[in-house]
A and B are shown apart, each in its own frame.
Chain A
């Protein structure tokens, strides 16, 4: 099996190298798209991995929390702040920062509430019970979105500047892509600080490692779990804002597909492992962009989901600990 895996990876690299040789500038542009996708996936994948690390639960409703975050952001930006394409840059930045906080807080509270209602009563039940309620919650959230916005797409004005940050030799990097990274990076930095440096983060790591022992050390386990869901929801809210800004439209089922892709990213990196989730998200982002963008023998966007889910299945079957190993986020 390792030989087969090595062969596959080698083929992939050869394919990438040939594509790179055929058009280096084009290849780089596609890679920028992958980086941007990966940043969005990272925010969502971290939520999966945080919750999995602490509860060993696949929070199936996470993708839909992300979707609601996107809808909240779209509403805030277009209806509450009334941002249009003509708004000044200062106002735009202010609106985005305010929306970011509101979406993060809203989704965080929502996610913690879901944990309280649907998962906490099932702490001692068989492992599949909370997974089943998670699926139920996912459908409930989608229908909340339908009731709120209707089944159609909610679009928001194309507010991000489209100009180039730099452009050299056919390689262009646009502001909208940079802004996605500019929103994502501080959120990730704050998360790393929170998990690694604060008392609450230490409690999270301890609970993930051994819930009973953590409780004996005086950690309020239930509150720590709620806090983890709050953080995960906040990340999903930030992801929702970024997605709404960058892709410009979303609807009730946008979270389902993206949630599965982000979960794949978390598994690819090693579920429960925070850096792994970011790495996995970037990998998936690149794979998706290369698959859909590259010209030489790429399967194309018709097959993106199949490729992503094949990766998921292969990883789960042959290397369930993911790229970075570690089944629990003991290292944070």
Chain B
């Protein structure tokens, strides 16, 4: 981890007379002290930039002291400390948001609702990371899984099917309800499984295609599905209303644990009735992201995960080693689809609706941009990319635009150029740092050395 960050950084330091080996010859304690001083300096410089001193400075000093000073990696179970501390900081976010200062340029810290969306997009980006980052398959129709998840929530947690009448643990139903109402917790799982099945169905015929053809085919599916959603209020002239057309399915039930759980376990009965409902959604989404991160790490190091990476690096060699190409790729596709579906269903529950516009191609590119910016294949990079871009989308760009217009007396509508900015990010990252901001070491090596990425069928005919 240390070594990975250092490449160009140490090259720069070497240029000014501090080569890496000389640094390593300094006693360990001194090194740690110097590092702590550097981090404290960076933290305090940031605080000084905000213009608020006492409390913020203390907080920064405390966080730095806790995270950097002790050699956590060397302590028993110490490796869990930093992730747990980060989770704690995020979980407590609603409590200290009010006392946070304004950032320069970016303005206030994101609201809790924005944090929820950031978490949801983190889940989707991690899901896409299975496909793009691990298995190296470009999926331009990932939004289809997200929207399928949203529609699953629409079908099984709303009044959509007026002739049906089923309540399975749903909360907050009004008198006179109809349709299927299954508790959101179960719907999340159902949405994940259903989208994974759809992923397999789409994948089986198409995954044998070459990389760029696969990208276009997934894009095609991503264009067909919204049309079905738009025209699905009267499928084939039968009058069967599957998707409620352009109006979308709304409202969708909120999550909750019911009255019994509230009375006995102090869990919220219905999120939508709670006064801190954004916070409840945030905490739930943190749990979901945590599960996704856990699965990402465990799957990456599992047998199938190593097979994904092998296929990404060299399909021919992987096949020669006995990896079943189709099955392995399909697993990657299905896993990615699963998390996309769960995230979609959760998002649908949060915004209480599933709409055909959810299938917008730009969302696919938006999620892809998160993965590319953060670093394909690296979980922490993808989380960073997702949080940062989702924040930009919801609040950041508007704030930055307001700052630019205020300081330079211009009249730019910055959010209008949102996707142009993402386009620039994509191009610049791919040209100058294809491994992303926080790279996965293996992926970086591939992207720089180039790989033998002719697909198998071409290798077969190459000699002919």
Contacts and interface: CB of A to CB of B under 8 A. Distances in A.
Contact of B136 (A121, A128, A142): A128
Contact of A303 (B212, B227, B427, B453): B227
A58 B228 contact: no
Given A309-B223, A313-B220, A122 B419 contact: no
A122 B227 contact: no
Interface of B: 136, 138, 140, 205-206, 209-213, 215-217, 219-221, 223-224, 227-228, 230-231, 361, 365, 368, 372, 416-417, 419-427, 430-431, 434, 446-447, 450-451, 453
A316 B213 CA distance: 7
Given A131-B212, A147-B420, 15 more contacts: A57-B212, A117-B427, A118-B431, A132-B430, A135-B140, A135-B365, A135-B423, A139-B426, A140-B424, A142-B420, A142-B423, A144-B420, A309-B221, A313-B220, A316-B217
26 contacts: A124-B450, A125-B434, A125-B450, A126-B136, A126-B453, A127-B210, A128-B211, A129-B430, A131-B138, A131-B215, A132-B368, A132-B430, A135-B365, A136-B424, A136-B430, A137-B423, A138-B423, A139-B365, A140-B427, A142-B419, A302-B231, A305-B224, A306-B223, A309-B224, A312-B217, A316-B209
Nearest to A271: B213
Contacts of B365: 135, 139
Contacts of B421: 143
B211 A127 contact: yes
A305 B223 contact: yes
Interface residues of A, number: 43
A79 to B, nearest CB: 23
A10 interface: no
Contacts of A309: 220-221, 223-224
Contact of A128 (B205, B215, B424): B215
Given A260-B223, A302-B230, A143 B434 contact: no
B430 A256 contact: no
Given A302-B227, A316-B209, A316-B213, A132 B426 contact: yes
Nearest to B225: A306
Interface of A: 56-58, 117-118, 121-122, 124-129, 131-133, 135-140, 142-144, 146-147, 151, 256, 260, 263, 267, 302-303, 305-306, 309-310, 312-313, 316-317, 320
Interface of A is mostly: helix
Which of B140, B213, B217, B220 has the most CB atoms of chain A within a 10 A radius of its CB? B220
A132 B361 CA distance: 14
Contacts of A316: 206, 209, 213, 216-217
A118 B140 CA distance: 19
B420 A313 contact: no
Contact of A137 (B210, B212, B427): B427
